[in-house]
Structure 1
């Protein structure tokens, strides 16, 4: 089982064991590290002899020039064992056009999983439980889209209700301990900026409680998460061969 760590803030030291560093932002394009930070992350990975997965976010159309500029630099930064994770199909298409040799990974923002903690309170039949353990990439047409994009790896959240085994031909990555619940462009810390970067840095992480579920939610920037650090039983049987642990609440 490959072990990786995710961060958008380049640390001086990385936990051990580590086979791969996930560096970047998944949910907010304004928190994406700059080129200099990405180069330092790549240099760190070279020194440690590990792979780099550059994580790119869901983005506004106004962030398209930055995405294009990033892709111009990547052939000189990423090595053979490195990957580009996309959280937006626009980035996948750009990468396919401009950097056709990159190894692409489909981020969990696109997984279509049923993430809400209220699922646990539903009275479900076995067929319904199986449905709530699946996501977008379990259907034939969706897998065909991945094949067209040349994608063989998908990122998954660690659902409270469990995860269905991935279809043959797909490799899975499981994220711990913060599972995405929902994300929005309406960030509570953001003033209307018409597609421009935020003036202040993101506010403090805060928690949310609801009478509908005992599960605590964590709000970080524009995204809500729940905490689940329990690995599913027989995780390899699900088609998962990589675990990504978070150094802090993901961006």
Structure 2
């Protein structure tokens, strides 16, 4: 995400509070070699990549997407066959919402946190909270998507809980979102029961960013994000194409 900020603001100084062990593992699953292989096999298919990818990967893509707009991005393209990566579960989510043929790349790509969730987890949660609505992220498995009440991006999950009349939710995404939702509920004087689908659904890379590291970053201006100008230009084209979609 730091790279994306730099790509969109190349003349600004972009700082990261920490660089050691903070990069998303999924972002590195879609390499230039894999892209080349699929481009050769499907030369007419545009490549849509998740924003959770490296700057180099974005530079090789036709357009980027988020979990909130992935289906809209795909449906905006004229081609009937789309290369989509690196999250295979998000590709499944999109495939259910388009008539186009989605080719997920690479094989087995996805978020290790969301891959932890199983149908057994869901069954246990529903047995304990039978009246709770199941709200999950589209990075969850196809089986979970097919059995959820709601599938939404991080911002979508927050919005649904805040605006819904339901009082209980089983949340299938990184557990830190529950703290965020509870803060938002407190602001509007509401209280709801939020049940994590798994207590250990933790993104260790995100958790390495702390308030102390943010303070140090601002005081010392360490860990500036630097990218090759050619990479910035090509990656920005892919991001800006996404931003143009209404």
> TM-score normalized by structure 2?
0.27
Q: Which has the higher strand share?
A: 1
Which of structures 1 and 2 has the bigger CA Rg?
A: 2
TM-score calculated relative to the size of structure 1: 0.27
More helix by share: 2
